[in-house]
Chains A and B, each alone.
Chain A
Amino acid sequence: MIMMTVVLAILGVSALMAVYRLIRSAETSSKVVVLDVITTLTTGVLVIFSALFDTPFLLDIAVVYAILSFAAVLLVSRYLERSI
């Protein structure tokens, strides 16, 4: 239980650092990179929550979240490339 808390704390600190980078970065493409990393972090936190609360349906939510984040990254990068 304590180890789960430590892992979640490391992930939370990483997410805070990524949000700092998201605010500070100037170009749009590097903001999209940071958003991609934040969604991967969030998917990891969902997977850990499903073990912590013993609820396997959180894994389904994590799968849908990963699919949506992949589609969002593809769409935004295509838009930046002006080839949508």
Chain B
Amino acid sequence: MVIVGYVFLLIGALFMFLGVLGLVRMPDVFNRIQAGTKATTLGFVSIVIGLFFFHPEWWSKLLVIGAFVLMTNPLGSHNLARAAHRRGEKMVLSGVDRLSEKEAK
């Protein structure tokens, strides 16, 4: 059981590291949002699942914190992306901007 927990913890830490690596390497705000938030959410939930294998009696608190982060992290990143778009941040890689096309109609 403990070995499975260690594997989940290591997967979570690696995903968090990959998320921060994407944060460092990506060129503009929207790419940073999608690299940072998705990868770190998966890493955090994986760490919480790994901790469940160490202490199964803490399941209620672990469930609360895992579900909370799983729900609120996408909400925060969505609000940030909308704020960055309304502030007129430039997209570097892609020329497609469906939100501006939709708001122009």
Q: How far is the CB of A7 from chain B (nearest CB, A)?
A: 4
What band does the interface of chain B fall in when counting residues whose beta carbon is under 8 Å from A?
35 or more
Q: Would you call the interface of chain A mostly helix, strand, loop, or mixed?
A: helix
Decide yes or no: A73 and B13 within 8 Å by CB, A3-B6, A17-B20 being known contacts: no
B100 at the interface (CB under 8 A from A): no
B61 at the interface (CB under 8 A from A): yes
Write out, one digit per residue, whether chain B residues 14-34 have a CB within 8 A of any chain A CB (1) or not (0). 101101110110001100110
* Contact residue among A7, A33, A34, A60 (Cβ-Cβ distance under 8 Å from B9): A7
B91 at the interface (CB under 8 A from A): no
Complex Cα gap A48–B16 (Å): 14
Determine the residue in chain B with the shortest Cβ distance to A52: B54
B69 at the interface (CB under 8 A from A): yes
Q: Which residues of B contact A (CB under 8 A)?
A: 6, 9-10, 12-14, 16-17, 19-21, 23-24, 28-29, 32-33, 36-37, 40-41, 43-44, 47-48, 51, 54-55, 58, 61-62, 64-65, 68-69, 72-73, 75-77, 79-80, 82-84, 86-87, 89
A-B contact pairs, 27 of them (CB 8 A): A7-B12, A10-B13, A10-B14, A14-B16, A14-B20, A17-B20, A17-B21, A21-B24, A29-B29, A29-B83, A30-B29, A32-B80, A33-B23, A33-B33, A34-B23, A36-B73, A36-B76, A36-B77, A36-B80, A41-B16, A43-B44, A43-B69, A47-B65, A48-B47, A70-B73, A73-B79, A73-B80
